[in-house]
Amino acid sequence: MSFPAPGCAPVAPEIPVIDRAFAAPPVGVLLFNMGGPGTLADVEPFLVNLFSDRDIIELPMGALLQPVVARIIAKARGNGVRRNYASIGGGSPQLRLTRAQAMALNDHLDRQTGRRHIVEVAMRYWQPDTETALQRLASEGVSRLVTLTLYPHYSRATTGSSRREFERVVAQPKWRGRFEVDHVEAYPDHPLYLEAMADNVRRALAGFPAHRRDKVTILFSAHGLPKKFIDEGDPYVEHTHRTVQGILDRLAVPNPHTIAFQSRTGPVTWIGPGTEDVLRDLGRQGVKEVLMVPVSFVSDHIETLYEVDQLFKEDAIRSGIVDYRRSEALNTHPLYIEALAELVSRQLVTT
């Protein structure tokens, strides 16, 4: 330990750069996701929230009566949807997986920048909702905030709906002017996101017998959307095709491939073709091996664990497909977390 020379003023010890950075107010990151019922008892209230959103579906009788009609639909569909969730363990794992993504992103950003971050989750149709997330961010002293969608492909029904809910909440008097905000609304061709997707597909293909591997049909399955949205300018389909092409460019394999759309419900015209229809067509063509790639889902939930792993598998087997597999969802794939961190950092650097 050293002391100042006689007659010299004491010199304050220099604070390491990382300590000064961590002493500054933390940067907030708010992850947008859909949410899902955590228990079977949550199914009906979750469905009410979902069907009350006119960004997804405009139910008859207008906006004022939509919540009433939504409750009727939720009651009618409740038993069937509960059975579906029961088959995947009794509830959606999406919140658990999204929180794992948030923790991984938080750690990555802190290590990468030497500054403290607070990453929170805002589920559109379940808890924690946007209001709860903002309360947590404010309690940590956050004033600089980046919203980051977990839907890589923009649609007004997904990221658009979450963004509008965020704007509604943040416009309340108690939040007005509280946060400086930037938004990440899509990343269909981010290189690290594409490489993470391609990595999962490569590893899934490697599991097929070597002598048949090149014959496996790769079926990219994205979430469906009412055709009306696309006709009105929604970029979702174009974004999805950009992602698929980016994955294929990185794979550079000779396998046949196609794209389809799943989770199509309700009395409206949906974008197509439907995933179940494509599987039946492949069976009629004599295809025996199929690798499903859920291309618009970044974590496992009802669409992957029930629809892809159970319903579509039954369709495939009935159609004569004998080897049906799925590539893993991204979840906390390191390259995906790195992609999210880069998207956040880009906003902070450019603003």
Segment 212-229 mean pLDDT: 96
Quick one: pLDDT at residue 244?
98
Quick one: pLDDT at residue 268?
78
Quick one: pLDDT at residue 63?
78
User: Greater confidence, 235 or 23?
Assistant: 235
Segment 295-307 mean pLDDT: 96
Asked if the model's pLDDT at residue 16 lies above 60, the reply is no
Quick one: pLDDT at residue 66?
84
Rounded Cα distance between 246 and 290, Å, is 20
How does pLDDT run across 100-113, given as a tens digit for each residue?
999 999 999 999 99
The mean pLDDT of the chain is: 92
Q: What's the token pair of residue 133? A: 């997330």
E strand or H helix that includes residue 163 = helix 159-170
Tell how far CA 7 is from the center of its chain. Answer: 63
User: Given pLDDT bands bounded at 50, 70 and 90, which one contains residue 13?
Assistant: very low
User: Given pLDDT bands bounded at 50, 70 and 90, which one contains residue 18?
Assistant: very low
Quick one: pLDDT at residue 100?
98
Quick one: pLDDT at residue 349?
81
Asked if the model's pLDDT at residue 271 lies above 90, the reply is yes
Helices 43-51 and 66-86 pack at an angle, to 10 degrees, of: 140
Quick one: pLDDT at residue 317?
97
Segment 269-291 mean pLDDT: 96
Quick one: pLDDT at residue 57?
74
Asked if the model's pLDDT at residue 301 lies above 50, the reply is yes
Quick one: pLDDT at residue 54?
81
Residue 220 CB contacts under 8 Å (≥ 6 apart), including other chains:
244, 247, 257, 258, 259, 260, 293, 295
Asked if the model's pLDDT at residue 10 lies above 90, the reply is no
Asked if the model's pLDDT at residue 188 lies above 50, the reply is yes
User: Given pLDDT bands bounded at 50, 70 and 90, which one contains residue 67?
Assistant: confident
How does pLDDT run across 70-85, given as a tens digit for each residue?
899 899 999 999 999 9
Segment 249-276 mean pLDDT: 91
Helix (H, G, I), strand (E, B) or coil at 31: strand
